[in-house]
Structure 1
């Protein structure tokens, strides 16, 4: 088997220099020497012993990611973006799907920590105080979607401006002339759902409209829940003329409900979702949605996870969102070319 001595001999450098190149430190290596080592590695088809390297460096070059439900297109998109960014930095990603089960989420946390991953990213809709009870502070942690990580001052958080995005969506529906706007949300203990409810309520209050309790449905972030809730709302004695859904997943359920009830979108009921998943561009009409900057959120989460471990104070960042006004809210639907590319979409900040 080819070893580091062989690589060093072929490159004409010391074994220590080969080690510095493979481990990206701890000492700098000149570009000339680095290129010699990389060329020798390629010529000899050398594959480092990652297990031995991990034991020496105390790094596994792996990151654990736990998501609430990877069947949800938004979480699948976010996981893919995190994996891409981690891979570009030389890290492998271990994915755990909690499937909405808190015990399962805890199990993944413990399993990844036992495997000594170099860091954990947890995308969680539950109160993050529960994370503190299952977390080993020796493993860096970044939480996506919540900013209140109680008892964990060193933990960084990354999230979208849930309240602001919901407020903008509701204000947009008000500008279309709607006065009775329903709100579909997730579980009552979900931080994003609570914040999106607050944004919807604020927008109605600012417009002098009633955020009536009968317009709100606390449910789950699924298409079926969106469908059932919308059927209930739209078939009532005093149905809303517009619906803001806390996720695109739920909004697709609303579109299906409208069709089942013989209602036209947006003429009889306008719909705006939240997340900006790719599928929103393929419904009929196209789904208006509040788009999250998934790539930026993913890159920042990985960056914060891998920052200098001597930084003991957590960083908390909120990303602004963009409202994509499309056919389902009453705006002109963007056209597509013969290749399927969108020609003109209306974006409202």
Structure 2
């Protein structure tokens, strides 16, 4: 295998000049550059990434920790992350934890040992161990996507969940619904709190009564959508529409309604959140609040790269705006 010394000898220059040409770190005459590139091509020389990283204290590698991979929402975000990493010239190391604390500690230590330049985190739940570990690596640039605790060193990128909850509920009201319920995510999670706040704001603006029996906490999984439908439909007084705080739960609710002989949207209108790819193929096609998922991933990478380059220590929060994707799961009343 050719070395930088072999390239320098063939090109008739010093190893320092070869380094400057390949890394574009100093002006080198065009004729000299051409000799170096010809020698590189002739010898099929590949610079050592390890040696380069030791010299410049960068590996051009980012780590991505995903706490759960079952929700289709995360797949699109990861695609956005990967595309942005490639565009920025970074490699990506992806680790999925799936709630396993042993894996969490192992993967985090492994990523740090591999000298990643920065860490991306996509989490679905609050784990004190996770964030205490992250705080112990405070000097490592970090960006968290979707949800996370407030601290001084970590950047956060989130969708404007309060706005999304407001848009969803306002649309139901505009379609003539006045008896509206809400299936939230786990209420210890900030997006769940904010989406419920948006729901409440729209209801209060329209001077509509919020029935506490129609506010149910789910867990962002399909089974909680099924359970919520059964709970709602067992009541004497029922809503005509439900704002469901993610598409997976909304699909669970619609599936349970179908099994129970309840037509959506004729008997119950349902609006979801996330606008995952399969939403438009569901029966009926699901009206949903659209998050720019790939854009979330891309923004996370560009934010982390900026944090690395500028050596910025102080954390900040960035919001992505939501929009309504209208399909067929909401009927008009009156």
TM-score normalised over the length of structure 2:
0.87
- Residues 245 and 251 in structure 1, CA contact (< 8 A), matched pair in contact too: yes
Unaligned segments of structure 2, at least 5 residues: none
* Alignment match, 1:340: none
Residue deviations 1:283-322 (CA, integer Å, cap 9, x gap): 1221111111122222221111112243233232111111
| Pair 1:263-2:270 in alignment | no
Shift of 1:118: 1.0
For structure 1, which runs of at least 5 residues remain unmatched after alignment? 332-349
Distance 1:182 1:39, change over 3 A: farther
CA shift in 2, pair 1:32/1:228, >3 Å: farther
Q: Secondary structure of the residue that 2:325 maps to in structure 1?
A: strand
Residues 176/5 of structure 1: CA separation in 2 closer, same or farther (3 Å cut): same
1:341 match: none
CA distance in 2: counterparts of 1:128 and 1:36, whole angstroms = 56
Q: Which has the bigger relative contact order, CA under 8 A and spacing at least 6?
A: 2
RMSD, matched Cα? 2.8
Return closer, same or farther for 1:21/1:65 CA change in 2, 3 Å cut-off.
farther
Larger helix proportion, structure 1 or 2?
A: 2
Q: CA deviation at 1:205?
A: 1.4
For residues 260 and 34 of structure 2, the distance between their equivalents in structure 1, rounded to whole angstroms, comes to: 66
Write the distance in 1 (CA, Å) between the matches of 2:297 and 2:155: 13
Change (3 A) 1:199 1:52: same
Shift of 1:232: 2.0
Q: Does 1:238 align with 2:237?
A: yes
Partners of 1:35 and 1:191 lie apart in 2 by 56
Aligned to 1:316: 317
**Corresponding position of 1:206:** 205
Looking at structure 1, the residues matched to 29 and 296 of structure 2 have their Cα atoms a distance apart, in angstroms, of 34
* 1:8 Cα offset (Å): 4.8
Q: Is the 8 A contact 1:145 1:191 kept in 2?
A: no
Q: Residue 342 of structure 1 aligns with which residue? A: none
How many angstroms does 1:44 deviate by? 4.0
Alignment of 1:48-67 (within 5 A): 48-67=47-66
1:142 aligned to 2:146?
no
**Shift of the alpha carbon at 1:181?**
1.6
SS at match of 1:116: coil
Q: What's the counterpart of residue 301 of structure 1?
A: 300
Show CA shifts across 1:142-165 (max 9, x none).
Answer: 111247523xx2322111001101
1:236-261 CA-partner distances (Å, limit 9, x unpaired):
32222111111111111111011111
Alpha carbons of structure 1 residues 104 and 9: separation in structure 2 relative to 1, 3 Å: same
Please state whether the residue corresponding to 1:88 is helix, strand or coil: helix
Measure the CA separation in 2 of the matches of 1:206 and 1:35.
70
- Structure label with greater radius of gyration: 2
With normalisation by structure 1, the TM-score equals 0.83
Q: Distance in 1 between matches of 2:263 and 2:97?
A: 37
- In structure 2, C-alpha distance between the alignment counterparts of 1:290 and 1:29, rounded to whole Å: 54
The answer on whether the counterparts of 1:147 and 1:159 sit within 8 Å (CA) in structure 2 is: no
